[in-house]
């Protein structure tokens, strides 16, 4: 059970970028659907929230988006593997979980404008990761280690890894 609820120590960056691309697409689609007052947007918001929760709890093991990326897309397109530390990526997924949960709850309670705003912010960070390979949360994670909020033992590789 403990192994199931673990996050990989190393993450394949091309896979992480493809997952971020999926989040970007779902976020943009959700913005459009909320703007058009389409009620089934809750399905996309719930899928996005579940995906973040699944990735935080167990990495790509039960996240539909991560499974599609790691089992189908990465092997099919034969992306070169580039391993990066996992803990900062888990931190990024945790932030995504907070955002997506907030978005879903705000949408359910008819705060659609705030939902769109938070989806826009999430889209910006997903764009940075997917297109530019810039993980803002990873930078924040490294700062949290350097100021002692996160113990260096959580990610010893992070201390020497250049983000």
pLDDT at residue 152, rounded to an integer: 87
How much of the chain exceeds pLDDT 70, in percent?
A: 96
Between these two residues, 158 and 144, which has the higher pLDDT value?
144
**The pTM is what?**
0.92
Asked if 91 and 158 count as a contact pair (C-beta separation under 8 A), the reply is no
Asked if 82 and 132 count as a contact pair (C-beta separation under 8 A), the reply is no
- Whether the pLDDT of residue 4 is over 90: the answer is no
What is the per-residue pLDDT across 14-49, written as a single tens digit (0 to 9) for each? 999 999 999 999 999 999 999 999 999 999 999 999
**CB count in 10 Å sphere of residue 44:** 18
pLDDT at residue 10, rounded to an integer: 92
**CB count in 10 Å sphere of residue 2:** 5
Average pLDDT over residues 106-123: 97
Q: Locate the domains of the chain by residue range.
A: 10-134
pLDDT at residue 114, rounded to an integer: 98
């Amino acid at each position: 059970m403990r192994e199931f609820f673990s996050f990989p120590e190393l993450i394949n960056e091309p896979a992480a970028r493809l997952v971020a691309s999926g989040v970007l697409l779902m976020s943009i689609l959700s913005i459009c659907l909320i703007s058009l007052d389409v009620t089934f947007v809750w399905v996309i918001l719930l899928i996005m929230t579940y995906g973040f929760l699944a990735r935080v709890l167990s990495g790509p093991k039960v996240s539909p988006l991560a499974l599609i990326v790691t089992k189908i897309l990465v092997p099919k397109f034969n992306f070169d593997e580039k391993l990066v530390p996992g803990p900062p990526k888990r931190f990024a997924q945790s932030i995504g979980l907070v955002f997506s949960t907030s978005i879903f709850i705000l949408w359910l309670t008819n705060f659609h404008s705030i939902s769109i705003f938070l989806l826009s912010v999430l889209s910006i960070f997903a764009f940075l990761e997917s297109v530019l390979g810039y993980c803002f949360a990873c930078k924040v994670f490294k700062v949290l280690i350097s100021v002692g909020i996160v113990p260096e033992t959580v990610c010893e590789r992070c201390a020497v890894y250049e983000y």
